[in-house]
């Protein structure tokens, strides 16, 4: 990314998102385990934290754990009696995440549930799981719209649903890349959000130490 965006990201990080020992160790452990460097950045982690606080989230759901980096940020936004479930299909990722969450003192508050999200989400719905206040979608991109529709069934008015990577370096406006499955997946979600009767939504572009991307933000309407 452009130098000025990275430099300003560093400035914001220095002000609001300095990594403590638990976050830095989580990054180091993910690297040591050979996991891809696709966690949210510190500044985006802080944004998730602030958004979760804004909706006073007591129950958080995350789809796509990796090594638990964003889960640490989100887990820290919870009140003492709050709880979070984060879904991860890869058992090796889940194992690293559990260790990282334990180091951050979040083992009790954050449960890493192993399996494919498209299997687990319907089970959560069928078992009568109470609604979540904040939902972060950050797994494989093709089923993003399915994740959103299932998330809606686990939400209530005021729930904030956030989906990462919906701009993909501008690929979403490039006709030459429209067939790419990940691009098509996030576009299906964004198109649906723009017209969806159950939510008020928008997208913010994100720049900084990670590549140019975007977060879709949706708030569930009253009386949907």
Q: Which residues bind ligand SAM (CB under 6 A)?
A: 38-40, 64-66, 69-70, 87-90, 93, 116-117, 138-140
CB of 71 to ligand SAM, least distance (A): 7
Q: How far is the CB of 223 from ligand SAM (least distance, A)?
A: 31
Nearer to ligand SAM, 37 or 157 (CB): 37
Q: Which is nearer to ligand SAM, 28 or 116 (CB)?
A: 116
Q: Residue 221 CB, nearest distance to ligand SAM (Å)?
A: 26
Q: Minimal distance in Å, beta carbon 118 to ligand SAM?
A: 6
Which residues does 191 contact at the CB level (< 8 Å), separation at least 6? none
* Closer residue to ligand SAM, CB minimum distance, 14 or 91: 91
The residue of the chain with the least Cβ separation from ligand SAM equals 64
Nearer to ligand SAM, 159 or 165 (CB): 165
């Amino acid at each position: 990314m452009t130098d000025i965006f990275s430099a300003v990201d560093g400035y914001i990080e220095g002000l609001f998102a300095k990594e403590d020992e638990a976050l830095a160790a989580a990054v180091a452990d993910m690297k040591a385990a050979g996991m891809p460097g696709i966690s949210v950045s510190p500044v985006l982690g802080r944004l998730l934290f602030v958004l979760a606080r804004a909706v006073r989230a007591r129950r958080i759901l995350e789809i796509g754990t990796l090594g638990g980096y964003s889960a640490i940020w989100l887990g820290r936004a919870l009140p003492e009696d709050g709880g979070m479930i984060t879904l991860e299909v890869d058992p090796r990722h889940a194992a690293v995440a559990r260790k990282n969450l334990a180091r951050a003192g979040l083992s009790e508050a954050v449960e890493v549930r192993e399996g494919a999200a498209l299997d687990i989400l319907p089970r959560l719905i069928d078992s009568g799981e109470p609604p979540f206040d904040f939902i972060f979608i950050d797994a494989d991109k093709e089923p993003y719209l399915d994740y959103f529709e299932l998330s809606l069934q686990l939400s209530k008015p005021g729930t904030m649903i956030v989906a990462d990577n919906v701009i993909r370096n501008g690929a979403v406006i490039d006709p030459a890349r429209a067939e790419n499955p990940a691009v098509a997946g996030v576009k299906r979600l964004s198109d649906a959000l723009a017209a969806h009767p159950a939510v008020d939504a928008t997208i913010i572009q994100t720049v900084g130490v990670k590549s140019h991307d975007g977060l879709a933000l949706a708030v569930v309407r009253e009386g949907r």
